[in-house]
Amino acid sequence: MSQAVREGWEVVIGLEIHAQLATTSKIFSGSATAYGAAPNSQANLVDLGYPGTLPVLNREAVRMAVKFGLATGATIAPRSIFARKNYFYPDLPKGYQISQYERPVVEDGSLEILLEDGTKKTIGITRAHLEEDAGKSLHEGLANASGIDLNRAGTPLLEIVSEPDLRSAKEAIAYLKKVHTLVRYLEICDGNMQEGSFRCDANVSVRRIGRTEFGTRCEIKNVNSFRFVEKAINFEVERQIDVLEGGGSIVQETRLYDSAKDETRSMRSKEQANDYRYFPDPDLLPVTITPAFVDEVRATLPELPDEKAGRFALHYGLSAYDAGVLTASRELADYYEAVVRALGGGGAAAKLAANWVMGDFSAFLNRDGLEIATARVPAAGLAGLLRRIQDETISGKIAKEVFERMWAEACEADAVIEARGLKQITDSGAIEAAIAAVMAANPKQLAEYRAGKDKLFGFFVGQTMKATEGKANPAQLNELLKKLLGGP
């Protein structure tokens, strides 16, 4: 799927990310925000837009928006305004969405992404504003009709709008992942893309290289995984270039990504409703954010992903790439640091821990679809295993086997080593005896080796390992083999 852009063309992408804020109640009402509740059981009078009801703003939603602003070096508006975005849609109970228009709470932030060639690029964040989510239209089980569930209506969203600074689908994904990591670090969004807590619309256009003005853009909606965002953008780029190279022109429109067909298509239903008649919501007063409030939020900021990655690289001697992988989530970084700490630190321990956390540990997590919190081997357990590699009780190869047992049985490394007799053989007498037996059993190979067929060395390593059930200390085995094969 190498998607080099066709020669002569440049891609321009801006992302609008909708992050559902992890509040317990809705942005303007006291209804719960829990996912997966029975239809309409979490929609109260305010959420339903009942006549006479009024919105009251959730403090936590404002706090979370400010937290995001601070983490992206943005300006926090001392006074921001809620506006009404007017349009008719069955999942929008009031006939307008309460959003922010002219004065959003967060403006002019940025994030740095790491490109494939190792260089960094700054992506501008135009604004991030608070708004309410809509409900859901369900189409199954009703003949020629749709059913409306308004549980999601009124869930707080932070809409994070980037500058059109992204130049490829890969950059878009790097940025999207960066924001995804950040909101979870800040604990303002659970980042669950399947449940729709973290969604993305992409504004995509293309232009001939050298042109300064932007091409006409299309907005792609409904992309709910990193992979699909990438595929949707790549499809759309190809489509637009095809149209333009064929002498056509791009129509500004909203397009829907269909993952089953891997294509985007025009959403005609959205075409008519584009005069949103924004105006300040008279039911809500201007939101004032004082310096004291900002300071209070600043005090709750955790170490941010970039700071953490920098510290990991410096302190643990890791490559920028490894540091990036290990800090992709706060939980993974915490796990890694707990392992290193348990090993007593040190450069070698840090490297060993990094290889294991990024390697087998992450692979097993993915395989079983588990979170760090529910991992079968806790940090102390992994450290216990790595300690046995360090003290040469077991080899790295045996360690993989031990780890698999630990994961399967949720037990300690030492218990597995003990029960299965996996302790490494470091007694040179025992290893020499094993080698002697192998040499005796393979006189033909021994003669060939001694006649100069060096590559048979590996054969003898394998045979001896087999004879010791893999437990011979590999370095010792090598040394002794060289000595004994060389002849008396």
Partner 1 sequence: MSLSRRDVEGIAHLARLEITEGELPVYVDSLSKILSFVEQLNAVDTQAVEPMAHPLEGETQRLRPDAVTETDQHAKFQGNAPLVAQALYVVPKVIE
Partner 2 sequence: MSLHTRSLAELAAGLRAKEFSAVELTRHFLARIEQANAGLNAFVTVTAERALADAARADAARAAGRAGPLSGVPLAHKDIFCTDGIKTSCGSRMLDNFVAPYDATVVERLAAAGTVLLGKTNMDEFAMGSSNETSYYGPVRNPWDPATVPGGSSGGSAAAVAARLVPVATGTDTGGSIRQPAALVGISGIKPTYGRVSRYGMIAFASSLDQGGVLAPSAEDCALLLGAMAGFDPRDSTSVDVPVPDYAAGLATSLKGVKLGVLKEFFSAGLDAATGARVEAAIAQLRALGADVVEVSCPNLPLSVPTYYVVAPAECSSNLSRFDGVRFGHRCQGPKDLLDLYKRSRGEGFGAEVKRRIMTGTYVLSAGYYDAYYLKAQKVRSLINADFRRAFAEVDLLVGPTSPTPAFAIGAKVDDPITMYLNDIYTIGANLAGLPAMSVPCGFVGNLPVGLQLIGPHFGEARVLAAAHAYQCETDFHRRLPAGFA
Name the site residues for partner 1 (rule: CB under 8 A). Answer: 23-25, 29-32, 38-45, 48, 50, 56-62, 79, 81-82, 88-91, 137-139, 141-142, 144-150, 256, 267, 269, 272, 275, 277, 280, 282, 284-288
Looking at 66-74, 273-281, 381-389, 406-414, which segment touches partner 2 (CB under 8 A)?
Answer: 273-281
Tokens 């959205």 correspond to what residue?
A: 270
Return the one option of partner 1, partner 2, none that residue 314 interacts with (CB less than 5 to 8 A, by type). none
CA-nearest of 198, 217, 222 to 207 is 217
Q: Does 273 bind partner 2 (CB under 8 A)?
A: no
Alpha-carbon torsion angle 470, 414, 316, 308, nearest 10: 120
Instruction: Give least dist CB 89 to partner 2, A.
Output: 9
Question: Contact between 109 and partner 2 (CB under 8 A)?
Answer: no
Residues contacting partner 2: total by CB under 8 A: 28
Residue 52 binds which entry of partner 1, partner 2, none, with Cβ cut-offs from 5 to 8 Å by kind?
Answer: partner 2
Does the CA dihedral 396-397-402-404 come out positive or negative? positive
**Out of partner 1, partner 2, none, which partner does residue 142 contact, by CB within 5 to 8 A per kind?**
partner 1
Give the pairing type, strands 263-266 and 106-114. Answer: unpaired
Alpha helices in 369-468 (DSSP H): 379-390, 396-409, 413-420, 428-441, 443-450, 457-467
Beta bridge mates, 179: none
Q: Least distance to partner 1 from the beta carbon of 168, Å?
A: 28
Backbone φ, ψ for residue 301 (5° rounding): -70, 130
The span of 280-288, 289-297, 308-316, 318-326 binding partner 2 (CB under 8 A) equals: 280-288
Q: Which of 178, 134, 187 is nearest to 160 (CA)?
A: 178
Residue 186 CB, nearest distance to partner 1 (Å)?
16
Q: Which of 36, 52, 429, 452 binds partner 2 (CB under 8 A)?
A: 52
Kindly tell me which of 20 and 29 has the beta carbon lying closer to partner 1: 29
| DSSP H or E run through 244 | helix 226-245
Instruction: Note whether 283 binds partner 2 by CB under 8 A.
Output: yes
Pick from 382, 381, 376: nearest CA to 364? 376
Is-contact 259 228, C-beta < 8 A? yes
State the burial class of residue 459 (Cβ atoms within 10 Å of its Cβ: 0-12, 13-18, 19+). Answer: middle
- Among the listed residues 6, 41, 54, 368, the single contact to partner 2 using CB under 8 A: 54
- Write each residue from 140 to 179 as x if it is in contact with partner 2 (CB under 8 A), else as -, in one continuous string: --------x-------------------------------
Q: How far is the CB of 196 from partner 1 (least distance, A)?
A: 15
Residue 50 binds partner 2 (CB under 8 A): yes
**By C-alpha distance, which of 390, 388, 377 is closest to 350?**
390
Residue with tokens 């925000």: 33
Residue range at the interface with partner 2 (CB under 8 A); choices 84-92, 122-130, 304-312, 469-477: 84-92
Q: Map residue 338 onto helix, strand or coil.
A: helix
Residues found near partner 2 in the complex (CB under 8 A):
45, 48-57, 84, 86, 88, 90, 93-96, 148, 275, 277-279, 282-285
